[in-house]
Every structure is written in structure tokens, then in C-alpha cells.
Amino acid sequence: MIGAAFARAQAERRAALIGYLPAGFPSRSGCVAAVAAMVEAGVDLVEIGLPYSDPLMDGPTIQKAVDRALAGGTTTAVVLDTVREVACLGVPVLVMTYWNPVERYGVGRFAADLAAAGGAGVITPDLTPEEAGPWLAACAGHGLDPVLLVAPSSTEDRLRLISSACRGFVYAASTMGVTGARAQVSAVAPGLVARVRAVTDLPVAVGLGVSTGGQAAEVASYADGVIVGSAFVRALLDAPDERAGIDAAGALAADLAAGVCRPSWPEAQNGT
């Protein structure tokens, strides 16, 4: 499903748009409703975050949302139920999770339960390929795509090793910092994408920092996918009520979807 979503976007001469929200935020039903609004507005793939109490890579915006989700009683079971509901929207659904919750739940059990819920893959930002053997085997056994992260500091050998462990796409972190919307997208991201493409045929999606249609267009000029998380969370946090937040998330998705469809994308992708 993940590969098909990227192939469809490429056929439409644009980048794929990937949107993130933590399960249980702004509420259990509100998360599903917000994701539905995002998908209706043009999001191609969805990341459902598994709330965790020690989110090393998350900036203050996502941390605030995760804290609210945890306070509301969001568990791994709730995450899986959320995946099941979102999968009914007809788009690939990945879980974004740190490794500790997967290990505590049980590696094989998590893979089996996620696949049964209709999940397409898992993004594990803190899992290294050296320690991923059992997880990669579990994913292969249940038809899930494992996605690991590369960073601007990754060496060529490291890029090759990480990319070889991925399925679906490679997640390129545009900065060494934590998640969060930024005024400008990292200047090193284009070079990182080019370096990843030199070692794999998988699509490369860029995350960390994108919050506007203009920034989405910039990233879409050199990447296969644009990942947006904090901006969606902020739209919900800043809204006066849940319904207004859902509407704001949909409006942001529409702006971002227009950005990844900018006419400059095909020429940039083809190097002309």
C-alpha cells in the first residue's frame, strides 16, 4: 500500500503528502475525525503516533499533544483501534513509535496486531539497523513496511545500511534537532535526499520543519514525500474547540496538498 501511494503521487507528477497525529489527540474520536479531514483535503499517507512518556525526538508542540493523549488514557490498544478506524479511510496507515513500547508489548505481537488492524508500516525513529533484526523479521512475517530514519550526519555506509533495512520509503530527517515547525526548511535536506537516492531505489520522504504550502512545495521539488506533523498538532492546539481544530487541520492539509502539486515539481525531479 505504501509503495502504491508513492507510485500514484509520482504518476500525478507530485510528491506524496504524509500527515501525522498522535492517537488520542485531541481526543480519541477527535483524532480520527481530524485525520479524516486531512485525508479528504489531500493527505496520501497517515502516521498515527503512539504516545510515549519519554519522546526524545519530539519538540514541545508534539510533547504537549502526547501528554494530553496519555492523560486521556491512550494506550497501545487505543492506538491499534485508531489505526483500524483510519485504515477504513482508504489510505496507508503507519504507526510512529519509539522502540520501548513495541518491545514492552512484544515484538511479534505488535506486528501481528498492527497488521490485523490494517496497518501498513511502522516508523521507529530510535531503532538502529544493528538492533532491528527481530523487528525486521516480524514485519516481513506480517506484511508490514519498516521505516527507519537517516540524518544529515549519516555517513554513506550508514545511509546504505539504514536504507537496506527500510521498506516502503526512507525517512530523511531534515535537521539534527527535534520535531517542530520552522520558518525555513533545512538547507541540508536536498543534499541528504540526493545521498540517499544514490544508495537505494526506495522513495525518500523528508520530515521535520514543514508547516506551510510554500515549504511543502520547496521540499517536493527534491523529495518523493513531504512529512508534516507539528503543524497539524499546532492547528488543533490553537483552536478554540475540537470542531474548529478539525476544520483547521483540514484547511492546513489543503494548503500543503496544493504545495506538493506545484508545477515546478516535475522539472525539479527530472533535473531540467
List active site positions. Answer: 47, 58
Cα Dmax for the chain = 51
Dist. CA 33–CA 65, nearest whole Å = 16
Dist. CA 102–CA 194, nearest whole Å = 31
Q: How far is CA 267 from CA 217, 226, 240, in A?
A: 13, 17, 41
Dist. CA 271–CA 259, nearest whole Å = 19
Q: φ and ψ at 196, to 5 degrees?
A: -65, -40
Q: Which three cell numbers stand for residue 57?
A: 525526538
Q: How far is CA 258 from CA 21, 39, 88, 217, in A?
A: 20, 13, 24, 8
Dist. CA 39–CA 17, nearest whole Å = 10
